[in-house]
A and B are shown apart, each in its own frame.
Chain A
Amino acid sequence: MNQTAALQIGDISRADFRTSFAADSENSRIQKALALPFRYQPARLALSLSLRRPDLPAPINDGGGRPIKGDTLFGQDEADLTLWIALIVQHCGQSGLSRRAFQDLVAAHWARGMDLLSRSITGAATIEQAFARLLAERPTK
């Protein structure tokens, strides 16, 4: 896989994605707190929250978190996967992203989003409570 080549959906599907060690630890904590069965579930919530911010997330310094395959993180259905790529790319606004750049971008969104998620759902004991808090904060438009 050529890391500098133009972004391909198939590559993204096969690629590993990871975030910082701290964010990954928080991912695990939230997964356990909300009794979520999969690691990608808090990760997707984190990505959503990060994408809510108009600015780009700061790049992370370490990639010490455990990896998640692209087709797990974004969905095995190509439409789901493509949608996430489209959202991240559109938010970034930068054409000609390489796979590596895309992976870094995802790592940064994941880390920032995890921080936001952590703050949003503090005290929530169930998934419905967590969702209710997230929805209460969601943008109106």
Chain B
Amino acid sequence: MSAQGSSEGGIGPWLDLLVSARHLHGAGGNRRRLFNRFDEIFSAPVDWSLLAWTPRAAGTPRPFRFKKVLLRNWKAFDHADFDLATGVDRPVALIGGNNGNGKTSILEALALGIYGIRAYLDRSRLGAEGGAPGPRRSDYNQTIERAMHRQAFERGDRDMSVTIELDGDDGPFEIERHWYFGDDGSFVEEDEELVLRIGDDRHILSPPADVPSADFAFYEIERRVAPVSMLPFLLFDGEQIRRLAQRELGEQVRFGLESALGVASIKALLEDLSDYARDRGKEVIADGAESMLSSQIDALDAELTATRNELEGVEAELEPLRRRRDEIVRSIGSFGDGTYLERHQDLELRKKLEADLQAARHELLVAGVRLLPFLLIPGALLDEVELALDGAARSKTLTKGDDARMLRELISALERTEPPLPKDVLADLARRTREAWQRSVSASGAGSIAPLHLYLKGHDAGRVHELIEGSRASARGEIDRMTGSIAEIAAAIARMDRQEEQRDRAEKNRTELVLELEDTSQRISDLEGRRRRLDQVAGKQQAQVEPLQAELSRRRGMRRASGHGGTGADAARMAIASLQGSIAVAMPKHYDELAKALTAAYRSLAHKGVVETVAIADDGDVSLLDPSGRNLRDTDASAGENQIFAMALIAAVSGLGGRSLPLVIDTPLGRLDTAHRERVLDYFVRRDSQTILLSQPEEVYGRYYDRIFHRIGSEHHLVYRPESGGLGETVVEKGYFPRQAA
């Protein structure tokens, strides 16, 4: 392993040892292991005043590109896969999304996916406004709990993951981080799983036997990607730029350079070494104190173990109860449809169906009684009646008196013909009409009333004939239609009855479940109270045992250290002085390089063009010089464009020492006026290293899009799909917004 910085001369590896000891043993709250390791290191016969530190950034660029990002159950994404641009000619990846569609979620996925809790703790340093308390680990847990995709959780998923594939100068490097949740949605740090893979065959990177895997993984990630202190210069959004821009320029520069050089890591080492020196510098009183301490520790350990066992017992009782509570809550929720309004509507519908059924039955009855004879009576009998009725209908014509009247009217009509007909013609026509009439009347009397049905005489048998003929034809169809309709209504009523039965059963179950829920909740509450008390007891016991352990450790350390040329404390003090001297020398060395990069970036980005040079003095003070060498800040306190300076600093820091880190920028142009938009866009897409732009549709469009099109290697856009009654989800589609891509 190599450390954050590198040391020079024959003593060089010892700084690496100290830094890696801190990485591997110093992350948790207990520093006993770290100090023991320092004891071992400082026991070496080394002149610690020669220890020196040279920042890594100047000599060891580690360019890499984001190749793939896979999100599962992350925030608004059920799943999302991004294949990002990695080509040299087209290093820009454009991801479009409206506000609220998940752009910032991608930024967060990258930060937390790569660095886990360290990203959370470190990034917030930039975010913390004066004096605000630093983030706590429990805040991280809450952040992770809130990140779980709600719909996935509701359908039973209990894990969320982010996988990031990088192309580095060591070949492919993959970071896969999973977070697992309890059934109540809770997350604890132990439920985080991290897998690192390297090479084309994705070989899993395993820690050495004696190294905690989390520390090892963090060390590898910082080594292969970038120090976590570089996060604000790797992934950022407009809000971060604003916060940076609010700082004084000198402070901005110092913050940027310290982040780039990894000074924060050396400063943290210095703090640990100071604590170590204080701890080990105390007098050792050689008496029987060690054995007394040991027995006290053993006794307290036994008590602590007993308390923890009891705690485990409580947890074991709690777990099934919580599961049952969740089941009950889900069951009660699933009954769902029992509102008063729904029931009332159902009742109304049921009544209406009953009324429909009665009406349909009545219709069937009336029609059935009328039509059934045509279906029940043998067809032969009906045929006979039909024939008889037909004959009777045809025999029943007009009465004798009616015949004569109609004939008279016909002849009278002939006499009124215009122009009048000659008498002889008229007489001939009248004769012929009478003959035709007689023939016609004789023919119509061809039918006759059968002797059986003489009662029909004088009645309209034709209507009866029509009745029998029509009814025979339609009876079956009508009856079938009506019985079909009745069957449908009856089926609907039966369905409603079944539904009502189910609802009654559900109501009964719900009542029982509510009672059980009350009981379960009470038991959970009691147990949680007991657990809290046990936690407090365990905390007190732990607080009692820790100083005793530390004291015992110190005494043992002192005894080990006393066998060499100096104590560990002396060696540590010498190392501290040497390293502080190195930092004081190293920082100004890089001011020049940073000032050049900053000048180039600022001049490209700034619209006004009045600043010729950005200069940084040895004390870190920043000057904005015009072409004549005058410091514009002397005459104008607000000289320069603050946001642009912060942006230029980010660009300069990320490229310091030829590092060429990728940049992931959320809403890059959001806070800029139109005068700066093109300049900023041009600058970022012109870089050789990868740039991932998370953009709104109104931000990169039309001529802005055309301007960078030739550098775009991958395009995605985020589409929000609302869900009735739910939060909806975001899906990823290839291509930028359709109208821009067209």
Contact = CB atoms under 8 A, between A and B. Distances in A.
Given A8-B455, A90-B452, A135-B479, A83 B369 contact: no
B378 A134 contact: no
Contact of A6 (B372, B385, B454): B454
Nearest to B378: A139
A87 B455 contact: no
For B361, B364, B377, the residue with the greatest tally of chain A CB atoms inside 10 Å of its CB is: B377
Contacts, number: 114
Interface stretch (A20-28, A62-70, A124-132): A124-132
Interface string A81-123: 0111111011101111000000000000000000000000000
B365 A41 contact: yes
Contact of A48 (B372, B388, B454, B466): B372
A49 to B, nearest CB: 6
A44 B380 contact: no
Contacts of B451: 95-96
A19 to B, nearest CB: 17
B464 A95 contact: no
B467 A80 contact: yes
B320 interface: no
A51 B377 contact: yes
B102 to A, nearest CB: 60
A127 B370 CA distance: 14
Contacts of A93: 452
A131 B363 CA distance: 13
B377 A48 contact: yes
A45 interface: yes
A14 interface: no
A82 B456 contact: yes
A114 to B, nearest CB: 14
A87 B483 contact: no
The winner among A51, A91, A127, A132 for most chain B CB atoms within 10 A is: A127
A84 to B, nearest CB: 8
B581 to A, nearest CB: 105
A52 B372 contact: no
B464 A51 contact: no
Contacts of A90: 381, 384-385, 388, 452-453
Interface string B713-735: 00000000000000000000000
A9 interface: yes
A89 B467 contact: no
Interface residues of B, number: 39
| Residue from B361, B452, B454, B482 whose CB has the most chain A CB atoms within 10 Å | B452
B468 interface: yes
B389 interface: yes
- Of the candidates A82, A87, A94, A141, the one having the most CB atoms from chain B within 10 angstroms of its own CB is A82
A128 B488 CA distance: 12
B119 to A, nearest CB: 74
A44 B372 contact: yes
A128 B370 contact: no
A33 interface: no
B486 interface: yes
B682 to A, nearest CB: 83
Interface in A35-61: 36-37, 40-41, 44-45, 47-49, 51-52, 54
A52 B380 CA distance: 10
B464 A83 contact: yes
Interface in B376-432: 376-382, 384-385, 388-389
A75 B486 CA distance: 25
A83 B466 CA distance: 11
Given A6-B454, A82-B464, A127 B372 contact: no
A1 interface: no
A79 B463 contact: yes
Interface in B460-511: 460-461, 463-464, 466-468, 479, 482-483, 486-487
A128 B372 contact: no
Given A127-B361, A128-B361, A131-B479, A86 B388 contact: yes
Given A82-B456, A89-B453, A131 B464 contact: no
A87 B385 contact: yes
Given A52-B377, A90-B385, A95-B452, A79 B464 contact: yes
A15 interface: no
Given A79-B467, A80-B370, A36 B377 contact: no
B378 A128 contact: no
Given A134-B372, A135-B479, A139-B379, A126 B361 contact: yes
A116 to B, nearest CB: 10
Contact of B375 (A75, A84, A135): A135
Contacts of A75: 370
A131 B466 CA distance: 25
A80 B453 CA distance: 15
A83 B384 contact: no
B215 to A, nearest CB: 81
Given A48-B373, A87-B381, A135-B479, A128 B455 contact: no
Contacts of A45: 369, 372, 376
Contact of A127 (B368, B463, B466): B368
Contacts of B466: 79
Given A86-B385, A86-B464, A52 B455 contact: no
6 contacts: A6-B455, A78-B460, A83-B464, A90-B453, A95-B454, A127-B365
Interface of A: 6-9, 36-37, 40-41, 44-45, 47-49, 51-52, 54, 75, 78-80, 82-87, 89-91, 93-96, 126-128, 131-132, 134-135, 138-139, 141
Given A9-B455, A127-B364, 11 more contacts: A36-B365, A52-B376, A78-B460, A80-B370, A127-B365, A128-B486, A131-B364, A131-B479, A132-B483, A139-B376, A139-B379
Among all A-B residue pairs, the 4 with the closest Cβ atoms: A48-B376, A7-B455, A141-B379, A95-B451
